[in-house]
Amino acid sequence: MTDVMIRAVGVTKELPLGQHTIHALRGVDMEILSGEIVGIVGPSGSGKSTLLGIIGGLDSPTQGKIEIDGVDITRMNEDQLTEIRNEKIGFIFQFFNLIPTLTALENVALPVQFARKRAYNPEKRAKELLVSLGLQDRLNHRPSELSGGQQQRVAIARALANNPPLLMADEPTGNLDTESGAAVLDSLQNIRSEFGTTVVIVTHDRELASQTDRILHLIDGKMVEDAVEKHKFNRT
C-alpha cells in the first residue's frame, strides 16, 4: 500500500477533429494521496472529464502515465483495465447512469456479481449499502420511482459495491437541488471517514468544492495552483 493513490505524470490528450487537433490535456502532473477528498474545478471544456476518464482507465492518454495505487495502468490491455475499474475504482456521474429496468437493489448488486474475485454476497452487500445511505425504504424501487437525490445515492452505493479504494465523481451534484447535493457530499465524506476511501470530485459547484480537502484547478488542459490549497489535509 502506497500513500499516493493517484499519480499523473505528463498526461497529455490530443483528439483529432477534422484537420485540427484538440489539446484536451497539456501535460498534467499531480498526486492525490490515499484518503484525500480532492475537488477538480475549471471552466467548461478545460479537460476535467477527460482527465477523470483517463485516471479511471476509461480512456488512455496520448502521452504520459497514470499510476493507481502504485500500479501503472497506462499500458494495460482492456481486460486488465476492466479488472482495475471493477475492483479499485467506483464511478459516480452527473446523470446517475442507473439501469432503468433494474431496482435499486439490483443496480447495486450488479458490480458484485461481475467481480472476478467476488468478495461479497451481491444481494446482502447491496442491501447493506443502500441501508447505510438511508434508502432502506427504496430497495425495490426502479430509478424512475426515485428522486434525483435518491438516484444519486443508489449510484453511490453501486460505486461502493466492491469496496474500491478510489471513488471518482464527475459533477455528482450537477443535476441536484442544493439540499440533495449537500446530502451527496455528506455521504462522500462519511465514506471517506469510514473506509479511508480516496474521493476525486469534478465539480462546478463552489459550495461542494469548498468542502473538499484540496482544490485542483484545470484551465485549458493545464493544472494550475496544485500547491496552493492543500492546508486542510494533514499530510503526515
Ligand X SMILES: Nc1ncnc2c1ncn2[C@@H]1O[C@H](COP(=O)(O)OP(=O)(O)O)[C@@H](O)[C@H]1O
User: What's the min distance (Å) between Cβ of 68 and ligand X?
Assistant: 19
- Residue of 7, 48, 85, 127 interacting with ligand X (CB under 6 A): 48
DSSP state of 144: G
Our finding on whether 50 is near ligand X (CB under 6 A) is yes
Q: How far apart are CA 150 and CA 7, in angstroms?
A: 33
Q: How far apart are CA 118 and CA 120, in angstroms?
A: 6
Our finding on whether 45 is near ligand X (CB under 6 A) is yes
Q: How far apart are CA 233 and CA 51, in angstroms?
A: 22
From 28-36, 43-51, 53-61, 65-73, span contacting Mg ion (CB under 5 A): 43-51
User: What's the min distance (Å) between Cβ of 17 and ligand X?
Assistant: 5
- Residue of 8, 24, 89, 155 interacting with ligand X (CB under 6 A): 24
Q: Can you tell me whether residue 175 is helix, strand or coil?
A: coil
Q: How far apart are CA 189 and CA 127, in angstroms?
A: 20
Q: How far apart are CA 170 and CA 172, in angstroms?
A: 5
Closer Cβ to ligand X, 48 or 88, answer by number: 48
User: What's the min distance (Å) between Cβ of 25 and Mg ion?
Assistant: 13
Query: Which partner in ligand X, Mg ion, none is near 45 (CB below 5 to 8 A by kind)?
Result: ligand X
Query: Contact at 8 Å (CB) between 130 and 105?
Result: yes
Our finding on whether 49 is near Mg ion (CB under 5 A) is yes
Query: Contact at 8 Å (CB) between 13 and 62?
Result: yes
Write out the residues near ligand X by the rule CB under 6 A: 15, 17, 22, 24, 42, 44-50
Write out the residues near Mg ion by the rule CB under 5 A: 48-49
